[in-house]
């Protein structure tokens, strides 16, 4: 069965606003990572704005279940947890002398991936669309 196209009319406007707020919190963590001594990935996982965003994701998950916003929540939550997973890999690589160059490349690529996920997801929400991966499900 083909996936239903998103219909913003079938969800409360406040839920769309909360989803925008969550993307804004994640985006602020990305900006902090870019402008400070932290990395983008570190800012996303350990920054207060992003931690608040993930708490909101889990707190509001029941409200968006069964709507097109559920895909955005899943996209945001997966971005957070996969970033944490790759930061653990980075941490294990950085403690070995031979893994340091690989770790630096990994953290750079991870930062680009995080910025892409936040930006692409937010753009899809703004356009009333599902995040890219969710379109094929």
5 inside domain: no
**Separation between Cα atoms, residue 114 and residue 116, nearest integer Å:** 5
1 inside domain: no
Task: Please state the domain count of the chain.
Answer: 1
137 inside domain: no
**Separation between Cα atoms, residue 60 and residue 63, nearest integer Å:** 5
Q: Which domain holds residue 69?
A: 12-128
Write down the pTM of the prediction.
0.85
- Reference 24, options 132, 137, 125; nearest CA is 125
94 inside domain: yes
Q: What is the pLDDT along the chain (137 residues), one digit of tens a residue?
A: 444 545 555 788 999 999 999 999 999 988 888 887 778 888 878 889 999 999 999 999 999 999 999 999 999 999 999 999 999 999 999 998 888 999 999 989 999 999 999 999 999 999 999 998 755 55
**Separation between Cα atoms, residue 39 and residue 29, nearest integer Å:** 10
Which are the contacts of 52, defined by CB distance < 8 A and separation ≥ 6?
Answer: 25
């Amino acid at each position: 069965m083909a996936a239903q196209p998103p219909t913003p009319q079938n969800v409360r406007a406040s839920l769309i606003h909360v989803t925008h707020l969550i993307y804004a919190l994640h985006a602020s963590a990305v900006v902090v990572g870019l402008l400070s001594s932290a990395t983008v990935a570190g800012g996303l996982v350990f920054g207060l704005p992003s931690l608040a965003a993930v708490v909101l994701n889990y707190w509001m998950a029941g409200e968006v279940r069964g709507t097109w916003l559920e895909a955005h929540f899943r996209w945001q939550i997966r971005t957070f947890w996969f970033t944490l997973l790759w930061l653990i890999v980075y941490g294990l690589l950085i403690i070995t002398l031979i893994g340091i160059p690989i770790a630096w490349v990994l953290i750079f690529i991870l930062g680009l991936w995080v910025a892409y996920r936040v930006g692409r997801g937010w753009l899809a929400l703004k356009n009333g669309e599902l995040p890219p991966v969710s379109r094929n499900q």
